[in-house]
Homo-oligomer: A and B are copies of this chain.
Amino acid sequence: MSKPQGARQPTIKEVANLAGVSPMTASRTLAGGRNVRPDLQERVMAAVRELGYFRNENARSLRPGQPSGLIGIAITNLANPYYGSFALGVEEVAAEHGRRIILGNTGEDVARERQLVSDFIGRQVDGLILVPTSGDAAHLRPERLGHVPLVLASRRVPGLDVDTVLLDDVGGSYRGTISLLDAGHTRIGFLGNRTSVFTGERRYRGFERAMTERGVPIDTAIVARDQQDVDAASRAARVMLDLDEPPTAIFSANNRNSIGALREIGRRIRDGLPGPHPSMVSFDDFELSELMPVPVTVIDHDARLLGREAATLLFARLDDDTAEAARTVELPVTIEYP
């Protein structure tokens, strides 16, 4: 009955009035109660409960030096289970440090990324974690960010010297490819990301290195590096497998391409098309990979851990602040044979 319909939140002043004390006493009570008489504290807390009072964190962070308690995180595709796990990892560590995350999806669009970052800064985030979307570094330079600490995950941005968490893309791809070569394959297809994407480049490099080392030529007819989603990957696999000399094995540089390729391979098996159907190596795990109709070797890593590591790097910088040089952490990957 007393509350206006406008959903206005009660203020500390109203709490103080109801408790019959000054706003400062209420504030001190909420801050832990040091130097406040217990009976007054009790009255304040009662008023808080009665009014349903919550401290206004925004007003609080207005005060200079007060952190907002927010970490901004921008990722490229939340619908990809990998990035969901990644975000969870960041969220966990942030929660351990009493921070909240504020999240945006870039969809691999630089303009959107720029917009998100501005907004995050405008909300006074204590730090930023992002999976950068491309090579344009201008809006990410420290001075443009008001020197808010930034951690990059998964990918590096050329010319930007900041804390970064990466996977051992090259090593993983190399070892995965070697396992195919060891199994006797010499005609190996490659499915990957757009070349411009950092990880796509690195994973191709590992593949290339293994092939070159063993003296196996790479046939560009069975290299497709431009698929960003499952459907495109399916189509690319189809084209390859319809060739007169189809690959006997396929290296897929990420989760989306693996799913797409397997969908196509499954279709061919169901339709009774002649084999042999290709073995696969997949960079990125996916659930039930062990039940696939062709052997799948998985280059596995822990996206959640990647997120945790990124957050850890960020908090290290927030706490120490001792303008140390940018650090890069490269997380290992494990190869799981079929």
Contacts and interface: CB of A to CB of B under 8 A. Distances in A.
Nearest to A6: B65
Given A146-B52, A147-B7, A100 B100 contact: no
A105 interface: yes
A43 interface: no
Interface in A79-124: 79-81, 83-85, 87-88, 91-92, 95, 100-105, 116, 118-119, 121-124
Contact of A81 (B62, B81, B91, B292): B81
A59 B64 CA distance: 12
A197 interface: no
A196 interface: no
A290 interface: yes
A22 interface: no
Contacts of A84: 78-81, 83-84, 87
Copies of this chain, whole number: 2
Nearest to A147: B7
B91 A78 contact: yes
Given A81-B84, A121-B9, A102 B100 contact: yes
Contact of A262 (B87, B286, B288, B304): B288
B91 A85 contact: no
B147 A119 contact: no
A92 B92 CA distance: 23
A6 B318 CA distance: 11
Contacts of A95: 104-105
A306 to B, nearest CB: 13
A10 interface: yes
A290 B259 CA distance: 12
Contacts of A62: 56, 58-59, 62
A277 to B, nearest CB: 12
Nearest to A94: B104
A103 B103 contact: yes
Interface in A214-230: 230
A173 interface: no
A8 interface: yes
A299 B143 CA distance: 51
Interface of A: 3, 5-10, 52, 54-59, 61-62, 64-65, 68, 70, 77-81, 83-85, 87-88, 91-92, 95, 100-105, 116, 118-119, 121-124, 143-148, 230, 259, 262-263, 266, 270, 286-288, 290-293, 304, 323
